[in-house]
Amino acid sequence: MAAQNKQHLNLSSLFTELNRFGKAQDYEKALRTANKILKENPEEEKAFHYKVVCLIQLGRFDEALKLINRNPALSSNFTFERAYCQYRLNQVQEALSTLRNVTNPSNKVRELLGQVLYRLERYSECFDVYRDLMKNSTDDYEEERETNFGAVLAALSAENDPKADQYGLREESYELVYNSACYLLGKGDFTGAEEKLMKAEDICRKNFDHDEDTTEDEIDAELEIIRVQLGYVLQMQGKLDKAAKLYNQVLKQKPADAGMAAVASNNVVCLNKDQNLFDSKKKIRLATADGLQHKLTSAQQSAILLNQCLLHLHSNQSEQCRKLANRLQAERPASDVPQLILVAQLCKDKQMHKAEQYLQNHIAKKGDERSANILLTLAQIQLQQGNQADAAETLSSLGALSHKPGIVSTALSHKPGIVSTALSHKPDIISTALSHKPGIVSTALSHKPGIVSTARQCRAEITRIVRMLSLMFASDPFAGFGLGGSVRESGEARRSFRRAQQGCKMV
């Protein structure tokens, strides 16, 4: 009996100590104390929970997850902790499966679910989760939750999803104003987005007016994401020098956010085009560093891959260009761009016949799905080689736009008899741009979201395709990737976790 009383007192003392270390956020000492309790009583569930919490707070997510998995009896109610560890270990799909198995999810589970869905770019589902949370939650985290919701709205706006237009955003913090700017970017309102970003920077600076301990460097670090996004907006409006100045200002500060540095670097590569290749090579290394797949959207990663491919093309690195173009083709099977890059590389290598054969094979595989872009490019190559009859046949297959003045004048300038006869049968080509200059390669792709520069007509030479593509495809830096979802994402998840800890505190 005396031994039992002594053990009980010792256990009570250890729990008191554990609680004290937990309140002081001294998780190393709390972990050691939890281990002492578990050594005496391996089945002590509260001590086990504390141990898991301490490991998570110390960033030892792999250990925490393994501990949960090794002890199913003790961790049967640890769904949130399991999913949180999976999320932080970038096992995002597994985290989703874990959370989906919860029958009556609490707010903390739904908040984490929102973060997971955002990371998976399932924005419509994420919207539903946050809308429900905002309707049914009242606590001290409403502003953070609304900021995250704003990031979701911005992402939906970039996808032209009508859900994004159902809600207005308050603008009481610079994060909320920033996300309003991202929303406007999704709508293509660059002037409005610029005004919002300037307002966001002003609010952010005013937040530090009375904080004498905050240095200018710390303020600049807080402003980095706003400046990168502002650089993008200026670039979209053709204010290239101002955009370059902002990007380089941020990169000079060596930002801690690797995803933001990647976006800024990628957009500098787009500004450089086929000039200043040495600088572009340095920047593309930053944009393709290890681990960025978890910090960038799939669209951003694809844009960076494209620009890396084009950089190899500009640098006369034929083999690397082909490898990346083939990889791009696997990732974007519906896009013409990888084929156009491969053809441009062949043309640059003076292998015009191979380029023509490649396009003909591609057209044969596509059948009725063949692209006007591809057909126009093939016709251009055929004309450059003096094969007017073949070019006339290709132009005749373009479809409904073949009566456009640009096509007709191109055709007539090379072989009036054959071409005009061929063109008289099938109507439709690609872009109204074709009606202005003969021999243009279409600029239809230039109106997709996330472009970094205004569209320009490509000249007749096939190798010029490369220069236009480098303008067309750049990352959309955090448009729909707002503070709520990127910079604040892990912070909000950590706050969710801190709230969850209340369930394991001892009295």
Dihedral of alpha carbons 171, 173, 179, 181, sign = positive
Q: What is the 3-state secondary structure (H, E, C) of 305-327?
A: HHHHHHHHHHCCCHHHHHHHHHH
Residue segments in the chain with a per-residue pLDDT below the cut of 70: 1-9, 368, 399-507
| C-alpha neighbours within 13 Å on the C-beta side of residue 85 | 21
Q: How far apart are CA 70 and CA 54, in angstroms?
A: 17
Predicted local distance difference test score (pLDDT) of residue 428: 36
The pLDDT score that the predictor gives to residue 241 is 94
Cβ–Cβ under 8 Å, residues 41 and 50 = no
Nearest to 426 by CA among 368, 380, 377: 368
The per-residue DSSP string of 392-461 comes to: HHHHHTS-TTTTSHHHHHHHHHH-HHHHHHHHTT----S-GGGGTSTTPBP-GGGGSTT-SS----B-SS
Among candidate residues 275, 278, 274, 254, the one with its CA nearest the CA of residue 264: 254
Model's pTM, two decimal places?
0.77
Of 487, 497, 483, 492, nearest to 152 by C-alpha is 483
Q: What is the secondary structure of 177-212 as a DSSP string? A: HHHHHHHHHHTT-HHHHHHHHHHHHHHHHHHTTT-T
d(Cα 313, Cα 465) in Å, to the nearest integer? 11
The contacts of residue 62 (CB under 8 Å, 6+ apart) are 85, 89
- The reported pLDDT for the residue numbered 382 is 87
